[in-house]
Amino acid sequence: MAVKTSAALDKRGLNDEQLRQIFRNMLLQRQLDNRGFQLNRQGKVPFALGSEGHEALQAGAAMAFERGKDILAPYYRDLGLCLGVGLTPYEIMLSLFARAADHNGGRQFPNHYSSKAAGILSFSSILAAHIPHAVGAAYAIKYRQETGRAVLCTCGEGTTSEGEWHESLNFAAVHKLPIVFLVENNLWAISTPVEKQMAQPEVWRRAAGYGIPGKRFEGFDPIETYATVKEALDRARSGGGPTLLEGMCYRFLAHSTDDNDMTYRTKDEVAEHRKSDPVPRFEARLVEAGVLSDADVAAMRKDVLHETNDATDRAEAMPFAPAEELYTHVYEGAWQPWQ
């Protein structure tokens, strides 16, 4: 996973403001991740899960998403994608603290972000189950002839082993649906390395079997990610059908606060990947290219920390849903099955 570091930054159509937004998203992801793990250590939340290593991929992909038009069908590791399409750190923290004001009312695990307003579909913890939903949503878009709209559907590489993944890609291909399947390949599915998940380790190569385009890209590079995802989304939006993308990245943290990754991988392996950490890399590239000054970066970091602190405090101060809320939204209307 070599990342290009040339002074002459090829912006692939992004303007400087967008580049700064991408970078700010990456900083915010990392800050929020840190905060989650910190709060867990402090005993304030029973569970947290980080996306460190996925920042560039997610910030770049989110920049290709059209707010108010596209639909995102994410998975639990998509903090940066959800921020990038419009969720606020406050909403993220409401999810972490499971407060009543959370989109899910504190019902779901943290990181299971959904927001009808932001175009983020609701998903469960059951891996791959959201992928047919994304396909169904893409079908609705195509059926209503809403050109200019597409669905971006993500999952980890481990999740591509599920039968529902296969069925979904096949159906989307048959119907040439406006959807991009973005696989975030971080080389691990909890403790299971890619070699135990698939005999040939390049997920994108399965695309040909479905008769759709497939591509692998460097997910540590947000600009390449943006350009690749945008090309695929543009194709989807204009009737060109689905694409299977595979962004290469790495999971720097343990799977979650419940996991100890040192039981199955070595410090050295993690350290080796840390050398290509996309956050400092991208910072260096932007500074080198004059998109940001060192002072800008420092100010941005301060700002991101402040926003995270503020979101944490505000969310923490919010109430839980009362016990009666256990009984709402089972069905619409009057029938109360527990009576």
Partner 1 sequence: MAVTSSETTASSQTMNNVEAVRATLYEAMKSDDRTIILGEDVGARGNVFLITKDFIDEFGPERVIDTPIAEASIVGIAVGMAMEGLRPIAEIQFADFIYPSFNQIVGEAAKTRYRSNGEYTCPMVIRTPYGGGVRGALSHSVSIEALFYHVPGLKIVAPAFPADVKGLLNAAIDDPDPVLFLEHKKTYRLIKGDVPKGHYTIPIGEANVVRPGTQLSVVSYGLYVHWALEATKSLEEEGISVEVIDLRSIRPMDKATILSSVEKTRKLLIIHEDNKFGGIGAEISAMVAEEALFHLDAPIRRLCGPDVPAMGYAQPLEEAFMSSPAQMADAMREMVRF
Ligand X SMILES: Cc1ncc(C[n+]2csc(CCOP(=O)(O)OP(=O)(O)O)c2C)c(N)n1
- The three-class DSSP label of residue 189 is strand
Residue 104 engages its own copies in binding (rule: CB under 8 A): no
User: Which CB atom, from 256 or from 312, has the smaller least distance to ligand X?
Assistant: 256
- Only one of the segments 86-94, 155-163, 308-316, 331-339 lies at the binding site for its own copies (rule: CB under 8 A); that segment is 155-163
Footprint (CB under 8 A) of its own copies, residues 190-209: 195-200, 205-209
User: Which CB atom, from 275 or from 329, has the smaller least distance to partner 1?
Assistant: 329
Kindly state the helix (H) or strand (E) to which residue 202 belongs, with its residue range.
Answer: none
- Only one of the segments 16-24, 25-33, 136-144, 183-191 lies at the binding site for ligand X (rule: CB under 6 A); that segment is 183-191
Residue 189 engages ligand X in binding (rule: CB under 6 A): yes
Q: How far is the CB of 125 from partner 1 (least distance, A)?
A: 3
Q: Is 251 a catalytic residue?
A: yes
Cα–Cα distance, 219 to 55 (Å, whole number): 9
Instruction: Write the CB contacts of 74 (distance below 8 Å, at least 6 apart in sequence).
Output: 81, 82, 113, 120, 121, 123, 130, 154
Residue 222 engages Mg ion in binding (rule: CB under 5 A): no
The HSE-up count of residue 54 (CA atoms within 13 Å, CB side) is 33
Residue 125 engages ligand X in binding (rule: CB under 6 A): yes
Footprint (CB under 5 A) of Mg ion, residues 187-216: 189
Q: Is 130 a catalytic residue?
A: no
Amino acid at 28: L
Catalytically annotated residue among 251, 273, 281, 285? 251
Q: Is 264 a catalytic residue?
A: yes
Kindly state the helix (H) or strand (E) to which residue 184 belongs, with its residue range.
Answer: strand 179-185
Say how many Å lie between the first and final Cα of the chain, rounded.
58
* Contact by Cβ (8 Å): 3, 281: yes
Catalytically annotated residue among 255, 273, 281, 285? 255
Q: Which of 153, 114, 107 is nearest to 130 (CA)?
A: 153
* Contact by Cβ (8 Å): 77, 115: no
- The three-class DSSP label of residue 46 is coil
Which of 76, 165, 217, 250 touches its own copies by CB under 8 A?
Answer: 165
Contact set with Mg ion (CB under 5 A): 156-158, 186, 189
Contact set with ligand X (CB under 6 A): 77, 125-127, 155-159, 184, 186, 188-190, 251, 255
Active-site annotation, residues: 251, 255, 264
